[in-house]
Chains A and B, each alone.
Chain A
Amino acid sequence: MPFQLSAPSWMRSRMSRRQVLRGVGVALALPMLEVMTPVTSRLAIGSDRPSPAPKRMIGICNNLGLLPDRFFPTQTGRDYGLSPYLQELKRLRDDFTVFSGVSHPGVDGSHSSDVSFLTAAPHPGSGGFRNTVSLDQYIATQVGNQTRFSSLTLGVNAKEGRRSLSWTDGGVLIPCEDSASAVYKKLFLQGSQAELDSQIRKLQLGQSIMDTLADQTRALKNRLGTADRDRIDQFTTAVRDVEQRMVESQEWERKPKPTTREAMPVDPEDKSGYMKKTRLMYQLAKLAFETDSTRAITLLLDSNNSPAINIEGTEISDGYHNLSHHGKSEKKLSQLDAIDRTHVRLLGELINGLKTTTEPHGTLLDQTVVIYGSNFGDANKHTTDNLPVLLAGGKFRHGQHLAFDQTNNYPLPNLFVSVLQQMGIETDRFASSTGTMRGLDVG
């Protein structure tokens, strides 16, 4: 397989020069290397101290959301009555917390708000928008060096190179991996010695490219004034990022990958296999955590980019986006109901799968924080407040509906701060947070 830097979709389609320039931050989207890895922690190898129980996080965003009046419970607190959708999770009611009245301050922009779901960067729809670091990438910079992959960015039908939940500190998008079988290969398939050698040589070639770029960029910067230097700052940071990761990749290349009894998944043929793809991604996420291949995963369920999808037992008559604009049509609402319930059931499978996997330190669910939600509070109205958010795992005291003010929403980034602290990362802020999540206790 010839070596190539990740070719974002815009390079393959006929794009005007302007579009190229516009996407230059995306151009250096981090390469889809066989191993995206960090330097092995010098603390972890050859240390006699038992390593502390690894903590994980998975962030999932369904970018067309769920019907709000069927998702949000009407009662609040601990003994709240489960909403119609949450009935599907009734056996897990003590393992999750549902939030209402939360959103990211300043995040509007309709469909473009999905890129801010894990970053909380305001006004994602505005011209000249530059994203900030996403929750998973922040975690990756803190603990990513302890696993082969500092993070995994997954997607279902994600518009390639254009939509993702994972963003680097420099505002560069990390492309989503859409193929479950490709993820499986990344995690478990080693390749022969010859293939390994070839891979390492390719990484070295990649490093040569980076060296050349770094030289050119340095020369360019010397010729520029300060204002222009700022302009190419994003580019230069991206070059440095990629260089770093290539060095780190080589270190992991020779280590044996974990094995698994699970067979390699078969990818559904096309985008209509949305729910099958989702289930496969959840299964792979659990495998990745189980084998400690990574500690941070994101999954973008790009409903907006999906056609009429297959739902068992229900005929779906229109593209997902058109359905979401239900205009109160009974026909569309009943189809959305079937779709949404499938979403919730699959989430239940994920949570239950983590819960029934035991580890030396407890269950996998205890050690994994699951954040499920959407950038849309109501896709029919295109509102980005009152977001549906569900939290599971991580040893929080679950089993409640934490309701906040629906007219003046509570900042969702506060949840991210609580999650980070729970993962043992010392920080008291993330993006536009004002503190930790009020009412969410550790148990």
Chain B
Amino acid sequence: MFTKASAAGHDFTDAVITSVSAILCSPEFLYFESIPGPLSEPTLRQRLAYFLWNGPPDTQSATEPVTASSQAMESMVNRMLDDPRRERFTAAFLDYWLDLRDINANTPDAELYPDYYLDELLTESSLRETRMFFDELIAKDLPVRNLVHSDFAFVNERLAEHYGLPTFEGVTPRRVVLPKDSPRGGLLTQASILRVTANGTTTTPVMRGAWIMERLIGVDIPPPPSGVTAVEPDTRGATTIREQLDKHRAIESCNACHAKFDPAGFALESFDVAGGWRDRYRSVGKEGERVKGYGKNGHAFKFRLAQPVDSSGTTLHGETFDDIRELKRLLASDERQLARNLVNRLIVYATGAPVSVSDRIEVEEILDRSAIRSYGVRTLIHEVSQSEIFRNK
């Protein structure tokens, strides 16, 4: 391409740009090619590198055999997980599994949340926290139940303040042990998750609840029926979203689906649009007490604290909870389901194909073997890499 361009009288820059454009558009650059069936060694090595490094294999991983034995694969996976390039996996996987790539799709409302408005440090810190948290689960092979509740968290000065933890100086998040009664710990209560499941102005239990149940627990949630009038969010402070959603519980046909996810959402009402704890809803109306303070934009706070938050609920199986702490205990109890969900997600990410009905048997076998290791996250990754699903197309 370069020669052609130069011969046609184009200058060096144009010729190079032409060649590079051709490369970037070429199907060989854009697509991985593989034939259905067992993958060859080189293709398997490539798949592994794109799984754990989101990039091509290096010289070592391009030549070392992985199909020779399960130990060979295991040591390759360990080497890759311990390599700094693993961070690309964490970032990409979480970006898509937890929608973290959308963290800037909404911004905190300037009037209701002037304390978060323009607070870029909070946004950046939230993102780092979740990534470092997941990295830790991999590094130490911590049990999958930590996704729902953990006794530690990664916080920096800003997040410690945000979460009401003992503060210290510094922007680099560090691992801290959480106080016994802290609601924090696990993905559900991290600022990044709570931000992407709200819209910057209001929270909705339906959206958060459905998201948590689908993404973390792996419950299948059908889309809403057409023709249902949507609830109109009201920030004037007279009603709460819980009251507005009463029909979900009162009407049988609504309750059939909503009972699956509304409860989780109600428990998360204790957190505002950026993950801060709240006992009362903020409003811009005339109800409630004013709060003193100034936002980063220099304006005085105008919002008021109005209705109290009620975060209690009853799960589909009839278990009651008062708040998020109790809900987390309930959700974390079915560890096998949490592991199953994570394995499914990893398979989709690693192979680019959905988990088919015939794959489910092998998934259960993976879970059987991982049970002894308390479904450690690193163990699950190893199991996926060793599976027939991963070795075949």
Taking CB atoms and an 8 Å cut-off, the chain B residues in 104-122 that contact chain A are 106-107, 109-111
Please tell me if B200 contacts chain A, counting CB pairs below 8 Å.
yes
Would A329 and B110 count as touching, CB distance under 8 A?
no
Taking CB atoms and an 8 Å cut-off, the chain B residues in 17-37 that contact chain A are 17-18, 21-22, 24-28, 30-31, 33, 35-36
Give chain B's interface residue range (CB within 8 Å of chain A).
Answer: 35 or more
Taking CB atoms and an 8 Å cut-off, the chain A residues in 1-16 that contact chain B are 2-5, 11, 16
Would A325 and B8 count as touching, CB distance under 8 A?
no
How many Å lie between the Cα of A89 and that of B199 in the bound state?
34
- From A21, A209, A329, A383, give the contact of B284 (CB < 8 A): A329
Would A381 and B230 count as touching, CB distance under 8 A?
yes
Would A325 and B199 count as touching, CB distance under 8 A?
yes
Would B110 and A17 count as touching, CB distance under 8 A?
no
**How close is A62's CB to chain B, nearest CB, in angstroms?**
19
A3-B14, A17-B54, A325-B202 are known contacts. Are A213 and B22 too (CB-CB below 8 A)? Answer: yes
- Which has the most chain A C-beta neighbours within 10 Å: B25, B26, B227, B236? B25
Would B92 and A408 count as touching, CB distance under 8 A?
no
How many Å lie between the Cα of A382 and that of B230 in the bound state?
8
How many Å lie between the Cα of A378 and that of B111 in the bound state?
21
Q: What are the interface flags for A1-44 relative to B under an 8 Å C-beta threshold, 1 for contact and 0 otherwise?
A: 01111000001000011111100100110000000000000000
Please tell me if A317 contacts chain B, counting CB pairs below 8 Å.
yes
- Which has the most chain B C-beta neighbours within 10 Å: A27, A216, A319, A322? A322
Please tell me if B201 contacts chain A, counting CB pairs below 8 Å.
yes
Would B223 and A108 count as touching, CB distance under 8 A?
yes
**How close is B87's CB to chain A, nearest CB, in angstroms?**
11
Please tell me if A217 contacts chain B, counting CB pairs below 8 Å.
yes
Would A17 and B50 count as touching, CB distance under 8 A?
yes
How many Å lie between the Cα of A220 and that of B28 in the bound state?
8
How many Å lie between the Cα of A19 and that of B93 in the bound state?
11
Q: What are the interface flags for A337-350 relative to B under an 8 Å C-beta threshold, 1 for contact and 0 otherwise?
A: 00000000000000
Please tell me if B88 contacts chain A, counting CB pairs below 8 Å.
yes
- From B18, B22, B92, B284, give the contact of A18 (CB < 8 A): B92
How many Å lie between the Cα of A212 and that of B35 in the bound state?
24
Would B21 and A27 count as touching, CB distance under 8 A?
no
Stretch at the interface among A200-208, A286-294, A419-427: A200-208
How many Å lie between the Cα of A2 and that of B11 in the bound state?
9
Would B55 and A232 count as touching, CB distance under 8 A?
no
With a CB–CB cut-off of 8 A, which chain A residues contact B151? none
Please tell me if A240 contacts chain B, counting CB pairs below 8 Å.
no
With a CB–CB cut-off of 8 A, which chain B residues contact A237? none
With a CB–CB cut-off of 8 A, which chain A residues contact B10? 201, 205
Q: What are the interface flags for A311-322 relative to B under an 8 Å C-beta threshold, 1 for contact and 0 otherwise?
A: 000000111011
Would A2 and B17 count as touching, CB distance under 8 A?
yes
Please tell me if B9 contacts chain A, counting CB pairs below 8 Å.
yes
With a CB–CB cut-off of 8 A, which chain B residues contact A216? 26-28
- From B26, B227, B349, give the contact of A408 (CB < 8 A): B227
Please tell me if B360 contacts chain A, counting CB pairs below 8 Å.
no
Would A329 and B200 count as touching, CB distance under 8 A?
no
Would A322 and B110 count as touching, CB distance under 8 A?
yes
Closest chain A residue to B224, Cβ basis: A108
Would A20 and B30 count as touching, CB distance under 8 A?
yes
- Which has the most chain A C-beta neighbours within 10 Å: B24, B31, B227? B31
With a CB–CB cut-off of 8 A, which chain B residues contact A224? 33
Please tell me if A235 contacts chain B, counting CB pairs below 8 Å.
yes
- From A11, A17, A319, A382, give the contact of B55 (CB < 8 A): A17
With a CB–CB cut-off of 8 A, which chain A residues contact B106? 321
Would B54 and A380 count as touching, CB distance under 8 A?
no
Closest chain A residue to B235, Cβ basis: A327
Taking CB atoms and an 8 Å cut-off, the chain A residues in 343-386 that contact chain B are 378, 380-383, 385
Taking CB atoms and an 8 Å cut-off, the chain B residues in 256-289 that contact chain A are 284-285
A2-B13, A225-B36 are known contacts. Are A205 and B8 too (CB-CB below 8 A)? Answer: yes
How many Å lie between the Cα of A332 and that of B25 in the bound state?
46
Closest chain A residue to B232, Cβ basis: A381
Please tell me if A254 contacts chain B, counting CB pairs below 8 Å.
no
With a CB–CB cut-off of 8 A, which chain A residues contact B352? 21
With a CB–CB cut-off of 8 A, which chain B residues contact A90? none
Would B110 and A16 count as touching, CB distance under 8 A?
no
Q: What are the interface flags for B73-104 relative to A under an 8 Å C-beta threshold, 1 for contact and 0 otherwise?
A: 00000000000000010011001100001000
How many Å lie between the Cα of A216 and that of B23 in the bound state?
11
Would A205 and B109 count as touching, CB distance under 8 A?
no
Taking CB atoms and an 8 Å cut-off, the chain A residues in 278-327 that contact chain B are 317-319, 321-322, 325-327
Given contacts A208-B4, A325-B109, A408-B227, 4 further A-B contacts (CB under 8 A): A16-B88, A202-B14, A322-B109, A329-B284
Q: List 27 A-B contacts (CB under 8 A).
A: A16-B88, A17-B50, A17-B54, A18-B54, A21-B30, A21-B352, A24-B30, A108-B223, A205-B18, A208-B1, A208-B4, A209-B18, A209-B25, A216-B26, A216-B28, A232-B31, A318-B109, A318-B110, A321-B106, A322-B200, A325-B199, A325-B233, A326-B235, A327-B201, A327-B234, A381-B232, A382-B230
